[in-house]
A = this chain, B = another copy of it.
Amino acid sequence: MTGVSLHRPLPLAEVPQWDLACDVAVVGFGAAGACAALAAREAGANVMLFERNAGSGGASGLSGGEIYVGGGSPVQRAAGFDDDVADFAAYLKAAGGPCVDVAKCDLYAREAVAHFAWLQAQGVPYRGNYLPGKHIEPTDDSTLIWSGSEAAAPYVDQARPAPRGHVVQHMGWGGGRTLMDRLEARVRAVGVDVRCNARVVSLVADGAAIVGLVVRMDNQLFHVRALGGVVLASGGFVMNEDMRRRYCPDTFRINDPIGDKDDGAGILMGMGAGGDAIHMEQFFTTCPWTIPESHAQGVFVNVAGQRFINEDCYHGRVSRTAVDQPGGRVYLLLDNARFQQPPDFARMTIAGTGDSWDEVEAELGMAAGTLSATMAVYNRHAADGHDPLFDKRPPMLVPLDQGPFVALELNFQTSYFSFFTLGGLATNTDGAVLDRGGAPVRGLYAAGRCTSGLPAWGHGYASGLSLADCTFFGRQAGAAAARHAAGHG
C-alpha cells in the first residue's frame, strides 16, 4: 500500500485481545531494525521483529555495506590516519548543514569506534586494510575508503580530513547484503523472534503511550503487546509518490528512487501517534560520474557554461548541487586523455566534442565566451594549483587544456540519478520519537531512514552516513525500549 493514509494508532480499548506479547517490538529488518533488536536483546528484553518482506535486507541490503566511522578506528590508525573525536564531530556537524542534529553528531563521534567494535563482535567481517583512491565502493574486499567530502573545501578547513568509510568484507560492490546476512544471523542466534511476511498496519496506544501494534500475517490480524514499546525501522518514503509530492517535490526532477518498498509507512504511523516529522524536503542523490576515476578530474558546468561546485567533493554532493541547476542538465567536461566511455547504467551521453573549448561551447549551443571563459579561468589557475572560484584542490585540480575535449551530458530526467529521502521522524539520541514540543512519545522509538538523523542534509551526504545512523541509533532505540520495558517489569 502506498498513499498518504496511515493514521492514528488503534486505541487500546479497541484491541480485542493480545495475540502475542514481547518487551520490544521492532518494525523492519534492515540494518536499523536488526541493530535495534540486537541491542534490546543485549539489555535482556524479549524481542519480536516484524518484516513485511520474505526476508531481511530492506534498503540496507541493497547498499554497499559501508559505515561511516571516525575518531580513530583501528583501521584508520593502522593505515596511519590520525583521526580524532573532535575532527570527526566537526565534520559530522558540517555535513548536517542547516538541518544538523548537534547532539546526535556529538554522541556518535564519541561512540563510533566502540560501535565499530560492536559490529565486529556481531560477526560483521572487515579485512582491515586501506584502499587509496576515489571509489564509490571498493572494487575488491578492502575496508577503508575516502567516502565523503573530507578533503575538499569547505570541509577540509573545518575538520582535519581522514577516510572514514568502513566497508564490510565483500568482494566488489553490494556489500550491504553481506552486512545484512551477518546481522540477520546474529539476530536469529540471540533469540529474537523474527516474523517475516508480516506487515505492521497500526500502532496501539494506551492514551498517548504506544503499547503494541497490529500486524497482518497469513491474512490475519494479530494484536501484539509490546511492554517497552515499538521501534520503527521501516525506511524512508522514496517509493511513495504521494508523500514525495507532498513533502519532497524536488525529487521529481530525477527518476531513479532506490529503496525496498520504502513507502513511508513508519513515518506515517509515527506522525499519527503524535511524532513530528522534520526535514522532509531533504534527499540524497547521485549520478556515478566518478567512474572511471579519471573523470573525477573533470569540470562541471551548467547550461549557462558556469561551474557550480568544487568537483573534488563527494560525488553525491556534486550531483545534489547539479540537480539544483537550471536547465534540466549539466555537463561534465573532460579531455581525451581522461575520457572513457561511462558505464551504460549511468545513461550519460556525449553532448559535444571539440579541439578547443570554443568548439565544445559552440557544439553545446552555448554563447561564445561562456564555457570557454570558464575553462580559461579554470586552466590558468589550475596550472598554479588554485581554484579561485570554488577552492577545488589537487590532485583533482588539473588543467584541461590539451584537446580534443568532450562534454558528457548528465540529464536529470534521463541519466541515472539515484535518490532516497532523508527526512523523517524527529528522535532524540536515545531513538525516542519526539512530538512537536520535543517531548518523547512514550513507548515509541525509531531509527534509520524513517527518522531524520546523521545524514540530515542532502548536500552534505557521505557514503556510509546512513548505515552509521541506522546501526548506531538503531542500537540506541532498541536499548531505550528495553529499558522502558524493564521499568514496567
Q: Which residues of the partner chain B approach A274 to less than 8 Å between Cβ atoms?
A: 8
- Which chain A residues numbered 98 to 128 have a C-beta less than 8 Å away from chain B? 98-99
Q: Known contacts A304-B306, A324-B324: does B377 contact A438 (CB below 8 Å)?
A: no
* Contact among B272, B281, B377, B438 with A373 in the assembled complex (CB-CB below 8 Å): B377
Binding stretch for chain B, among A26-34, A170-178, A210-218, A244-252: A244-252
Closest B residue to A4 by beta carbon equals: B436
Contact B304 A304 (CB under 8 A): no
Contact of A278 among B247, B268, B324 (CB under 8 A): B247
Closest B residue, CB atoms, query A435: B7
A487 beta carbon closer than 8 Å to chain B = no
Known: A98-B252, A426-B246. A271 touches B381 (CB 8 A): no
Nearest CB on B from A392, distance (A): 12
* Contact across chains for A380 and B369 when beta carbons are under 8 A apart: yes
Q: Chain B residues with Cβ under 8 A from A305's Cβ?
A: 389
CB neighbours of A304 from chain B (8 A) = 306-307, 389-390
A206-231 CB contacts (< 8 Å) to partner B: 208
The smallest beta-carbon distance between A267 and chain B, in angstroms, is 9
A388 and B367 within 8 A (CB): yes
Residues of B near A369 (CB, < 8 A) are: 373, 376-377, 380
**B-contact 0/1 string along A345-387, CB 8 Å cutoff:** 0000000000000000000001111100110110011000000
Q: Is the CB of B366 within 8 A of A437?
A: no
Residue of B nearest to A436 (CB): B4
Alpha-carbon gap, A436 to B252, bound state (A): 20
Give CA–CA (A248, B6) in the complex, Å: 25
Q: Tell me the smallest distance from the CB of A338 to a CB of chain B, in Å.
A: 23
Tell me which residues across on chain B come within 8 A of A208, comparing CB atoms: 8
- Tell me the complex Cα distance, A369–B5, Å: 55
Q: Which residues of B contact A250 (CB under 8 A)?
A: 98
- Chain B residues with Cβ below 8 Å from A389 are 304-305, 367, 370
A252 contacts which chain B residues (CB < 8 A)?
Answer: 98
A417 vs chain B, min Cβ distance (A) = 16
Q: How far apart sit A324 and B250, CA to CA, in the bound complex (Å)?
A: 15
Q: What are the residues of chain B within 8 A of A377 when measuring CB–CB?
A: 367-370, 373
Residues from chain B with Cβ under 8 Å of A4 in the complex? 436-438
Chain B residues within 8 Å of A436, by CB: 4-7, 268, 271-272
Q: How large is the interface on A (under 10, 10 to 19, 20 to 34, 35 or more residues)?
A: 35 or more
Residues of B within 8 A of A376 (CB): 369, 373
Q: Report B-chain residues with C-beta under 8 Å of the C-beta of A99.
A: 249
CB distance from A360 to the nearest CB of B (A): 16
Q: How far is the CB of A375 from chain B (nearest CB, A)?
A: 10
- What is the CB-to-nearest-CB distance from A483 to chain B, in angstroms, rounded to a whole number? 25
Of all chain B residues, the one with the shortest Cβ separation from A307 is B304
A246 contacts B373, C-beta separation under 8 Å: no
Which chain B positions have C-beta within 8 A of A366?
388
CB distance from A240 to the nearest CB of B (A): 11
Give 1 or 0 for each of A73-108: 1 = CB within 8 Å of chain B CB: 000000000000000000000000011000000000
Which residues 248-284 of A have a CB within 8 angstroms of B? 249-250, 252, 268, 271-272, 274, 276, 278-281
Docked complex: A278-302 residues within 8 A CB-CB of B:
278-281
Q: Of A6, A8, A306, A426, which is in contact with the most chain B CB atoms at under 10 Å from its CB?
A: A306
Chain A residues within 8 Å of B, Cβ to Cβ: 3-8, 98-99, 208, 246-247, 249-250, 252, 268, 271-272, 274, 276, 278-281, 304-307, 324, 366-370, 373-374, 376-377, 380-381, 388-390, 426, 435-438
Extra 12 A-B pairs, beta carbons < 8 Å, given A304-B389, A324-B324: A4-B436, A7-B437, A8-B274, A98-B250, A280-B280, A305-B389, A306-B306, A366-B388, A367-B388, A370-B377, A373-B376, A373-B377
Q: Show 22 A/B contacts (Cβ-Cβ < 8 Å), sorted by A.
A: A4-B438, A5-B436, A5-B437, A5-B438, A6-B436, A7-B437, A98-B249, A98-B250, A99-B249, A246-B276, A246-B278, A247-B278, A272-B436, A304-B389, A304-B390, A306-B306, A324-B324, A367-B381, A367-B389, A369-B380, A370-B389, A373-B376
Q: 7 smallest A-B Cβ distances: which pairs?
A: A98-B249, A373-B373, A367-B388, A304-B389, A5-B437, A369-B377, A306-B306
